[in-house]
Amino acid sequence: MFSTLKPLPTDPILGLMAAFKQDTNPNKIDLGVGVYKDEQGNTTVLRAVKKAEAFRLENETTKTYIGLAGNLDFCQKMEHQLLGEHPALLANRVRTAQAPGGTGALRVAAEFIKRCNTDATVWVTTPTWANHISLFEAAGLTVKEYPYYDYENKNLRFDDMIATLKTVPKGDIVLLHACCHNPSGMDLNAEQWQVVAELAKEVGFTPLIDIAYQGFGSGLDVDAAGLRLLAATVEELIICSSCSKNFGLYRERVGACTVIAKDAAQADVSNSVMLSVVRSIYSMPPAHGADIVATILGSTELTQEWHQELDEMRGRINEYRGLIKTRLAQAGVAQDFSFIERQHGMFSFLGINKAQIERLRDEYAIYMVGSSRVNIAGINHNNIDYFVKAMVEVLK
């Protein structure tokens, strides 16, 4: 049976990771992998996480299963982090299942959508996180794209986006990035979110919100403002969230799939279907990461410390957005990189061509995705001079 299999191409990000590890250049810079890095280039464990882990190690009393929905305390606290004191919560319209990471949450959402409407199409931004398409197609869903990022002008194609969304059939799904759009870093503003929310209600498509970077853009509440507006406008909403970035819990795989229904009764039915999906995929989620998050959010002291650390991470990213733009201009680069400051989160397209990307990798050991998407957090005070010098050379 195995002899019929054909080798598949390596995921570009995984290929970059392997090539970077093998590179012996002492000045090498990894701008490809989407994880936060500090000034020393490390993805360290947050102080609040360390304290929560120590508490868990001391107080954990069992290793039994935690149930299909996972840690219910975690689920409740995630709902409040996402929605605040939202009317949907007060009306008991919200149900959440813990999932193995944001990717696991998206797969649960995909299978849930398939159960709701076998003919549903999922509409995603052009471009979007590459794995979005694979996840939905693996669940047997059709995927189509709608205009989003303007590569030439380094902005949103908002008018084109709205024109396309007006044609989406009722009952289809529209995927929206709540903040820190991956891979472009270009987000909707408050007025644009209002237009999208009203259109969703008018047309009848169901929004699916991917919020993997809450707190990395402008702050926890601001980054969830579009999501909360949609929840107040439409009757049905699906949210996929992740704790990988804002809690630094990448390898612990902590996420959640949240559904908002039109009333409590329909929310119960939706929850039963969602948990059936969970049972058929992985049965029950792991406990460790969700316990850490629940412990932090359940402690005023640890929550304050986490907020401080999150502010530090967001501040560093925003500092380097401005610094990259300024340093390239000071070095005499004619190309305008001011768009980097208008974006949010870890990612940005540099807008350089394939030959320039290859030169950066081959001559300077600077690694980025072939689309020119870079992880801003990969730049620090130790390597920014080298990065700017290399950019000056390849842009000549």
What's the confidence (pLDDT) of residue 269?
98
Q: What is the mean pLDDT of residues 98-119?
A: 97
Beta carbons within 10 angstroms of residue 315's beta carbon: 10
Closest CA to 47 of 289, 308, 243: 308
Are 249 and 289 spatial neighbours (Cβ–Cβ below 8 Å)? yes
What's the confidence (pLDDT) of residue 33?
86
CB-based contacts of 326-334 (< 8 A; 24+ apart in sequence): 327/384, 327/388, 328/388, 328/391, 328/392, 331/388, 331/389, 331/391, 331/392, 332/392, 333/391, 333/392, 333/395, 334/395
What's the confidence (pLDDT) of residue 4?
93
Q: What is the mean pLDDT of residues 207-230?
A: 97
pLDDT digits (tens, 9 = 90+) for 247-268: 999 999 999 999 999 999 999 9
> pTM for the whole thing?
0.95
| 52-64 as b/e: b if 16+ CB within 10 A | bbebeeeeeeeee
Are 347 and 373 spatial neighbours (Cβ–Cβ below 8 Å)? yes
Catalytic residues: 129, 210, 245
Domains of the chain: residue spans and CATH: 10-43+302-394 (3.90.1150.10), 65-298 (3.40.640.10)
What's the confidence (pLDDT) of residue 10?
75
> Rounded to 5, what percent of the chain is helix, strand, coil?
50, 15, 35
Three-state SS for 97? strand
Residue 11 has pLDDT above 80, yes or no: no
Tokens linked to 300: 């005023």
pLDDT band at 14 (very low <50, low <70, confident <90, very high): confident
pLDDT digits (tens, 9 = 90+) for 119-167: 999 999 999 998 999 999 999 999 999 999 999 999 999 999 999 999 9
